[in-house]
């Protein structure tokens, strides 16, 4: 069984393919994992290769759901709130490693493993087999339960895009039915069509709340490029409540004396900022960027903080 795998990644598409030979899936608002079942044990590996099994004890039964067979499944860990996927609900669980706390959270807010690809089974690699065959074998392998499911694919991508928009879901992914699995590659055989403009950014600093010297009020974020970390703006919305103290504790050990941004941060944003090593990745929703995204002056429009991505590193962006 191959142990060094990374998930295949989708490219943002321009138009949903209408031609034959494509299948379309719901895009889930969760955490991407590879589920390794081997010798009767489950190991969940995040997109950046970290083992996150301890955070989700309610998924241990997947071993029995695949009949105890060795397998590697590409999937998404999803937390539902009011019947819809909620990344905010999942964010409370992504960083937990203490087994007792993980068990309490699993009882109060259980997650679901949404499986959509089968990379290996019984010690045999399926990477070169077409997606249609991998999906067929996945559906035959996994005994569906409340804690794991294999959602259907659809032939009509335009219909699915409209339906997911109406239902408030994240979007869809369109995949070429004959495509092999390319570990770690961002391929145009998989195209993503999100409804919301959510992207990941690297934190380069934080500013305290007005009238406070310790409470975190806003993040300064940027995009890693060949020229360095380019400043994209200040994110203050979404940080009120428990998010601020959690971020403050996470960033405190990373403080540094100078800005990590390659370009100049406007004085209005830089004044009073605590600079940090650019290693923490967060998700931000916004109305896009003002100006061309490849220009250093582009800024996020009406950004809102959505959560820390412990499954991603700056290099992944």
Residues taking part in catalysis = 27
| Short-list 310, 44, 104, 118, CA closest to 200 | 310
Give 67's DSSP letter.
T
- The C-alpha atoms of residue 31 and residue 274 are separated, in whole angstroms, by 29
Bridge-based pairing of strands 228-235 and 216-225 is antiparallel
The residues, ordered by sequence, that sit 6+ positions from 65 with a Cβ below 8 Å of its Cβ are 142, 143, 144, 145, 148
CA distances from 166 to 35, 43, 115, 162, 281 (A): 31, 35, 23, 6, 30
Give 3-state DSSP helix, strand, coil % of the chain, rounded to 5: 20, 40, 40
Is-contact 87 29, C-beta < 8 A? yes
What count of other Cβ atoms lies within 10 Å of the Cβ of residue 186?
11
CA distances from 234 to 89, 168, 231 (A): 24, 27, 9
């Amino acid at each position: 069984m191959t142990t060094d795998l990374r998930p295949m990644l989708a490219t943002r598409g321009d138009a949903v393919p209408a031609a034959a030979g494509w299948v379309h899936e719901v895009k889930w608002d969760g955490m991407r994992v590879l589920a390794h079942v081997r010798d009767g044990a489950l190991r969940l590996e995040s997109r950046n290769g970290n083992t996150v099994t301890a955070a989700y004890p309610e998924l241990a039964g997947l071993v029995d759901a695949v009949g105890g067979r060795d397998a590697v499944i590409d999937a998404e860990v999803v937390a539902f709130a009011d019947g819809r996927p909620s990344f905010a609900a999942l964010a409370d669980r992504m960083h937990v490693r203490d087994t007792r706390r993980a068990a309490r959270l699993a009882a109060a807010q259980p997650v679901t493993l949404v499986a959509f690809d089968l990379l290996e089974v019984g010690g045999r690699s399926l990477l070169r087999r077409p997606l249609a065959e991998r999906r067929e074998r996945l559906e035959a392998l996994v005994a569906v339960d409340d804690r794991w499911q294999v959602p259907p694919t659809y032939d009509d991508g335009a219909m699915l895009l409209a339906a997911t928009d109406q239902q408030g879901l994240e979007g869809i992914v369109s995949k070429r039915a004959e495509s092999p699995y390319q570990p770690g590659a961002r391929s145009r055989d998989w195209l993503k069509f999100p409804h919301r403009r959510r992207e990941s950014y690297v934190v380069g600093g934080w500013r305290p709340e007005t009238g406070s010297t310790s409470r975190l009020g806003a993040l300064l974020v940027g995009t890693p490029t060949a020229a360095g970390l380019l400043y994209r703006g200040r994110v203050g919305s979404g940080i009120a409540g428990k998010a601020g103290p959690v971020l403050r504790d996470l960033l405190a050990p990373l403080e540094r004396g100078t800005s990590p941004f390659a370009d100049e941060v406007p004085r209005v944003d830089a004044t009073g900022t605590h600079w940090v090593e650019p290693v923490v990745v967060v998700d931000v929703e916004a109305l896009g960027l003002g100006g061309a995204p490849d220009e250093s002056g582009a800024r996020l429009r009406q950004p809102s903080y959505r959560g820390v991505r412990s499954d991603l590193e700056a290099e992944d962006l």
